[in-house]
Structure 1
Amino acid sequence: MCDYREIWEVQKQIFNGLLALKKSKEKPVEEFMLIGEHSPVYTLGFHGNAANLLADEKRLAKMGAECIRIERGGDITYHGPGQMIAYPLIDLESHGIGIKGYMDMLEDCIMELLSDFDIYGEKIDNAIGIWIGKNTPEERKICAMGVKCTRFVTMHGLALNVNTDLSAFSAINPCGFVDKGVTSIARECGSPASMEEVKHRFVEIFSRKFGYSDLDLSSYSRSR
């Protein structure tokens, strides 16, 4: 479990370092992935609507949570125990893709991972992330995504609900939606999933799709 502000600072340091290296062209850009779980926190995208936070300070304090406005895209979401977060800090230019292609590939990674649990995840128009029950009254989000990209270098990433306490989402309009639900692997399968297995499987899929041969969970850092 990691404090959001602590990992946010690590991300910013790595991100700024990657930008500086890319600008100097003195050596190859090293790429990173941070992966794990956060203590309870709500994050609001740079252009997100603060009115989508429905809880007052008293309720947040009771949860041991806070709401932080950050520099990623998207609106408001929740992070907490039982949710896998993955923050790739990579140079999209070196992979020959743009931001839209990158988001598509992240979504593809999650859909492939979910298929291991016999969960059919889908993309929907005008709503980044992965959804279950597309175009039904039970349409619900299982993975939220939000990224910052400068000079093709990325930070932030995705949050996949594995064994998440979904009641925490009642304090917000998740991702700004008032007519869609949220779900988790545990809810869809009827039993908890192994977080370590989910993390390893995600890294395996991500590595294959992005052309890494040795990305693993022990160091989260590899040069291409």
Structure 2
Amino acid sequence: MNRKILLSDLASKDYKETWDYQSQLLQKIVDVKIQNRRNDLQETTKNHFLFVEHPHVYTLGKSGDLSNLLLNENQLKEKNATFYKINRGGDITYHGPGQIVGYPILDLENFFTDIHKYLRLLEEMIILTIAEYGLKGIRSAGETGVWLDVGTPFARKICAMGIRSSRWVTMHGFALNANVNLGYFDHIIPCGIRGKAVTSMEVELGKKVDTEEVKQKILKHFKTLFEVEEFIVS
């Protein structure tokens, strides 16, 4: 099993370009797995972890409800935002500047073959990361992601998650609200969940956070939780 991960920070990159790139990486891994099975080979499959920040964009998961987007086409243009219906799980979410987006593209057969466990470990990675800033992140039953103050009238989401997998290869991932403009969430029903707010590390802490520092903490916890051998910067 290959537990080395190729790490790339794409900085600011268009959503559709990044989605296409993820799809290419996933397909290359899937192709190796198909050839291995067809020809009784044991070629090692690669794993990737992409960090990226997107320009303003709303994305709707394959089972999502378009009515959860509260803007029409002209209003999207006014907000300098784009919209895509995509192939991950989950409903609608927003990505934009100041948000830390991570896309692990892993062959889970190098780690474990359990999608539920995969999502729970991604949540744990974020819970451990924000705990280093004094924030108590928790799970909300039946709602993937990381929340604050669940079970109170002040429940609010700080990290959204949605993935897709094919032949145990993952794509898409998580979006942690670090210094993001939360006003853009006012134009959707986030994740299709009414009556719950969205927050950011900046709002909770009363100051901007160093996103590069947060990324390093994310990688530290990801490495431990997934028993990664090493990250290789690519």
Q: What's the CA shift string for 1:98-154, capped at 9, x where partnerless?
A: 100000000000000010110000001110000001101010000000000111110
Equivalent position SS for 2:100: strand
Instruction: Among all aligned residue pairs of Structure 1 and Structure 2, give the percentage whose two residues are the same amino acid.
Output: 39
Give the corresponding residue for 1:14.
25
Instruction: Extract unaligned runs of 5+ from structure 2.
Output: 1-11
Give the corresponding residue for 1:54.
70
Q: What's the CA shift string for 1:64-100, capped at 9, x where partnerless?
A: 1111000000000000000000000001122123100
TM-score normalised by the chain length of structure 1: 0.95
Give, as a single letter, the amino acid of the residue that structure 2 aligns with 1:134: V
1:203 & 1:22 partners in 2: Cα distance?
26
Give the corresponding residue for 1:24.
35
Instruction: Quote how far apart the aligned CAs of 1:195 are.
Output: 0.7
Runs in 1 of length 4+ with deviation above 3 angstroms? none
Q: What's the CA shift string for 1:1-25, capped at 9, x where partnerless?
A: 1110111110000011111111112
1:198 & 1:6 partners in 2: Cα distance?
24
Count of residue correspondences: 218
1:63 & 1:116 partners in 2: Cα distance?
34
2:113 & 2:175 partners in 1: Cα distance?
22
Give the corresponding residue for 1:158.
174
Instruction: Quote how far apart the aligned CAs of 1:214 are.
Output: 2.0
Give the corresponding residue for 1:201.
217
Corresponding position: 1:169 with 2:180: no
Summarize the alignment of residues 76-115 of structure 1 with structure 2, pairs less than 5 Å apart.
Answer: 76-115=92-131
Instruction: Quote how far apart the aligned CAs of 1:207 are.
Output: 1.5
Q: What's the CA shift string for 1:47-68, capped at 9, x where partnerless?
A: 1000000012222101211110
Q: What's the CA shift string for 1:151-187, capped at 9, x where partnerless?
A: 1110000000000100000010000011100000011
TM-score normalised by the chain length of structure 2: 0.91
Corresponding position: 1:2 with 2:13: yes
2:179 & 2:49 partners in 1: Cα distance?
21
Give the corresponding residue for 2:4.
none
Instruction: Extract unaligned runs of 5+ from structure 1.
Output: 220-224
Which of the numbers 153, 160, 167 marks the counterpart of 1:137?
153
